[in-house]
Chain A
Amino acid sequence: MNVGAADMTLLAMALPFVAAGLAPYLVRLMGHRAAWVLALAPLSIFIHFIPYAGLVANGRHVTAGFDWVPSLDTRFEWFVDGLSLTFAFLVTGIGTLIVLYSGGYMKGHPQQGRFLSFILLFMGSMLGLVLSDDFLMLFVFWELTSVTSFLLIGFDHEREASRRAALQALVVTGAGGLGLLAGLLLIWNVTGVHSLSGLLQSNEVLRQSPYFLVALILVLCGAFTKSAQFPLHFWLPNAMEAPTPVSAYLHSATMVKAGVFLLMRLNPVFADTPAWHTILPIFGGMTLVFGALLSVRQSDLKQMLAYTTMSSLGLMVMMTGFGGEHAVAGAVLYLVAHALFKGALFMVAGIVDHEAGTREVTKLGGLLRAMPVTFAAALAAAVSMGGLPPAVGFLAKEEIYSSLWHLDPWSLTFLACAVIGNALMMAVGFVVALKPFLGKRPHALGDVHEAPFIMWVGPATLGALGIVAAIAAPFTHEIVSSPMVSAVLGRASEIDITLVPHIGPPLALSGLTIVVGIVTYLAIAPFRRAVGGVLRAIGWGPDRGFDQFVRGLVRFSHAVTDRLQPGSLEVYMTVTFVAIAAALLVPMVVFGELPSMPTWPTDVTFYELTVMAIGIIGLVAVLIAHDRLTAIVSLGVQGFAVALLFMLFGAPDLSFTQFMIEALSVVILALVMTRLRLAPSDHRPTGEKLSDAAIAIACGAGFMLYLMRVTEGSFDATLSDFFARYSKTIAHGHNIVNVIIVDFRGTDTLGEISVVMVTGLAILALIRIRATRTDVELGDNDPREQHDPREEGSHGKRTYAGVEAE
């Protein structure tokens, strides 16, 4: 590819985002007709990718891109092969029709612009996802589809059900996305490869790694949540709360297939491993059967379709994991067929809802005459869904049956799953396509018209494509499905696909499917009741489990937080000091940093011992003081003892400052204490006294022991020597301490002055600003007796002059 084409691809990837930005303005300008303009964006991307089809059909692939985050080895690199190209066509092709459909469906909605914008944002994300080569790029787009899906499901945000569904989808797919990220990072770590194309070429390293299974499971978390595999399927039916264009586009045709896409993309890496061939079919098969059974139970058109989508996704996962060329071909054909027929049927359901005002199948009927085009589209889609000729669904089903037809219990089990699933889905497909249109029209429906062109063009095109593609099977296969099969297999596929049925077991199984399907269709009402009864008997499902999980999580968090943050300063302080004691004592013991046993100093003098003793007596007196005078006086005693200690050990400046500060503190404290009228004595219960004392002693011991330890070593006096040598000669000061403060370490003093300045201001703010609420009885403590708070007097300042004078 030349540079121009690569640039064009980048442009194509950016275009939906640009269109998303323009959408609200366009809608404001031209109303719902803006959809015609906006649909040009996906259409032109679709056209851009057409030439690639020829390249890809020849077994080639195209990669190009640029460095995105080179420091993390991350490139913005796209990878176009049969798989991603088919997805790109689906995303942009169906996207074009969906944009148009949205134009009609949301016509007149006050937030139509926003809606189209979200749809286009999703389109860009999904296109990026399928084209991504780099792991992180894949993850970014993967999560973007989750986020845009969140916004779209919750679009009708004033209804609680929408909000719940949106959050549920975000949590489930978001969690899966994180699993995917973990898996990708693990693979990156194990293999050193950070792109899908790179991984496809060097999968041996991963397979032999002990982390293989972990990586696989993590990646499957992502794929299974996104593709709604049982038991993580529950968000998908709820996502039907979104407006119908969203259901048609995100939750059937494209986004939910992202998981299948990922599995298909990684198939060459994981295929032929037991885990892959066990986990995928089992989960896929379960999803297929449960989805089909649950769909029968529904009577809402969208809900029925939603569960069959789940079922179809299960089928695709099952077939991808089952292995073998025919199985993959079946999965691929089914994927394409499903995108076409399910997109069409959802849009039909939306049209019926839009025109008739309900999508409750029991309240619908006889719309054929009013809506012939819609009916035709629905019928074509249902034929494909039912796997009847001449539709793509038939081709897919033939391949699926022929690949599963082996006479061993394992294959037969999944064959049974496939037959049951297909039969039920066929029945549901025809219920959706026929029941609203045939039979007698209920009176409650009133006057119903055919949808406007802008709305039926989508389902009609998709329905017709499902037939045309099957009639032109060899061409379709060569251009679309064969390259995709080859990409999924990791080698060239040699299967031919034609509409001519395989005479043999597959055809017989198709016949069986049709018979079961027709029986189910005819007996749909009792069947619905029966399944409903069973479900009610079970009573619990993962959907309700989600609510229980969220509520439980919130309740549990609340209880834990209540315990951890009890609102008591005493508790906070206690934990803090326990931590401090532990931080001192534990490492000293563990790392052998305890001091050696000190010896009694030889040079200690009697004065020094006396001063120390006075200090300690002062401390003890503070502890046991029962009235404030004693407490204050004792506080002063210990402070003056400290000052004396400084004096004795050659620090007269310090001593003087200490005297001053201590005096000031005591005076202020005395003032405040007299005004607060508080008893300074302790009221702790004995048990608390003991535990507090233990903590205090542990802290004290810790500080003491570590101080002994650090002062044991020799002291590096370089700095002090320097100061002594140069204070006079260079800095011209006799008092070395002063020189240090104002010169050598002058910046500390700058900070210190800032602290003092701010303290003054903070105290001022604290005293002067009064909240409007003044219902507390202030009594004689009220400073407003002395001065009006609004008047900037000098009284307050003078009281705390000590602060500012420092």
Chain B
Amino acid sequence: MEALMAVVIGIFFAVSVYLMLSKHIIRILLGVTILGNAVNLLIFTAGRIVHAVPPIIGEGNDVPNRITANPLPQALILTAIVISFSFFAFLLVLAFRAYQELGTDDTDEMRIAEPENEPVPPLGY
């Protein structure tokens, strides 16, 4: 089962990487979203996948009465989802502001911080 999931995850990664290799910020952002999903699936699979009930202890029991899904990856993913969503939100606003300030969403045209053809520094003393 993990192997099958691994194939799916691999495809998720490949697509997100392809998108992130774009010049256009908006496509990079799409890639970031997919990357987050890929990572979450990866964490989930890392804790092994079983067809099992959710990790919830029923009323009247002190411990789950059946094998449950591994709860720890789920907790980790919950943390990671929120963090990656925060980042996504920030990046989105950043992209928006970049478009406003720099007038482009093509990263090759963003040359304010590292301008093209910078002069050689002074060679004297």
Contacts and interface: CB of A to CB of B under 8 A. Distances in A.
A622 B107 contact: no
Contact of B70 (A705, A717, A751): A717
B30 A729 contact: no
Interface stretch (A100-108, A208-216, A374-382, A570-578): A570-578
B89 to A, nearest CB: 5
B74 A651 contact: yes
Given A635-B30, A651-B44, A703-B10, A574 B3 contact: no
Contacts of B79: 741, 745, 748-749, 751-752
Contact of B103 (A693, A756, A777): A777
Interface in B91-105: 92-97, 99-103, 105
Interface in A623-654: 623, 631, 635, 638-639, 642, 645-646, 649-654
Contacts of B87: 759
A412 interface: no
B40 A658 contact: yes
A619 interface: yes
A711 B45 contact: yes
Nearest to A664: B85
Given A703-B13, A711-B3, A577 B20 contact: yes
A289 B99 CA distance: 69
Interface in B1-34: 1-15, 17-24, 26-30, 33-34
Contact of B101 (A568, A759, A776): A776
Nearest to A165: B125
Nearest to A561: B118
A759 to B, nearest CB: 4
A741 B34 contact: no
A700 interface: yes
Interface in B65-122: 68-72, 74-79, 81-83, 85-90, 92-97, 99-103, 105, 107-108, 110-111, 113-116, 118, 120-121
Given A651-B74, A682-B27, A700-B11, A665 B88 contact: yes
A649 B51 contact: yes
Contact of B77 (A167, A550, A654): A654
B8 A565 contact: no
Nearest to B94: A766
B99 A781 contact: yes
A623 B19 contact: yes
A767 B49 contact: no
A88 B11 CA distance: 75
A803 interface: yes
Contacts of A567: 111, 113-116
Contacts of B71: 720, 723-724, 736-737, 740
B6 A652 contact: no
A727 B57 contact: yes
Contact of A676 (B14, B49, B99): B99
A749 B80 CA distance: 10
Contacts of A680: 24, 26-27, 30
B72 A638 contact: no
**Chain A binding site: helix, strand, loop or mixed by DSSP?**
helix
B89 A668 contact: yes
B3 A800 contact: no
A704 B9 contact: yes
A720 B70 contact: yes
A724 B10 contact: no
A707 B45 contact: yes
A724 B68 contact: yes
B42 to A, nearest CB: 6
B100 A782 contact: yes
A422 B1 CA distance: 91
A569 interface: yes
A642 B1 contact: no
A602 to B, nearest CB: 9
Contacts of A777: 103
Contacts of B121: 554, 558
What is the interface residue range for chain B against chain A? Answer: 35 or more
B13 A642 contact: no
Contacts of A619: 11-12, 15, 34
A562 B22 CA distance: 22
A695 interface: yes
Contacts of A767: 93, 97
A708 B99 contact: no
A568 B108 contact: yes
Contacts of A751: 79
A551 B18 CA distance: 42
Interface residues of A, number: 116
Contacts of A781: 96, 99-100
B33 A665 contact: yes
Nearest to B115: A567
B103 A652 contact: no
Nearest to A745: B75
B82 A700 contact: no
A274 interface: no
Q: Which of B18, B70, B81, B121 has the most CB of A within 10 A?
A: B18
A44 B106 CA distance: 72
Nearest to A652: B54
A353 interface: no
Nearest to A167: B125
Contacts of A675: 96
A711 B37 contact: no
A743 to B, nearest CB: 10
A710 B57 CA distance: 29
Nearest to B77: A654
Contacts of B17: 577, 695-696, 699-700
Contact of A631 (B4, B8, B30): B30
A675 B99 CA distance: 10
A599 to B, nearest CB: 8
Contacts of B46: 707, 710-711
Contacts of B6: 598, 703-705, 707-708, 711
Interface string B37-67: 1101110111111111111111101111000
A665 B54 contact: no
Contacts of A703: 6, 9-10, 13, 38, 42
B21 A615 contact: no
Contacts of A736: 55-57, 64, 68, 71
B27 to A, nearest CB: 6
A682 B57 contact: no
Interface in A70-128: none
Interface in A568-625: 568-570, 573-574, 577, 595, 598-601, 603-605, 612, 615-616, 619-620, 622-623
Given A573-B20, A763-B90, A603 B51 contact: yes
A755 B86 contact: yes
Contacts of A704: 6-7, 9-10, 13
Closest 7 CB pairs of A and B: A704-B10, A700-B14, A650-B69, A598-B3, A567-B114, A569-B107, A696-B18
21 contacts: A570-B21, A570-B22, A595-B3, A598-B6, A601-B3, A623-B19, A650-B69, A653-B74, A654-B44, A672-B92, A695-B21, A696-B17, A699-B13, A704-B13, A707-B42, A708-B2, A711-B3, A752-B79, A759-B86, A766-B93, A776-B102
Given A604-B1, A635-B30, A692-B22, 10 more contacts: A569-B108, A598-B4, A642-B41, A650-B54, A651-B69, A703-B38, A711-B46, A734-B56, A756-B86, A759-B87
Interface of B: 1-15, 17-24, 26-30, 33-34, 37-38, 40-42, 44-59, 61-64, 68-72, 74-79, 81-83, 85-90, 92-97, 99-103, 105, 107-108, 110-111, 113-116, 118, 120-121, 123-125
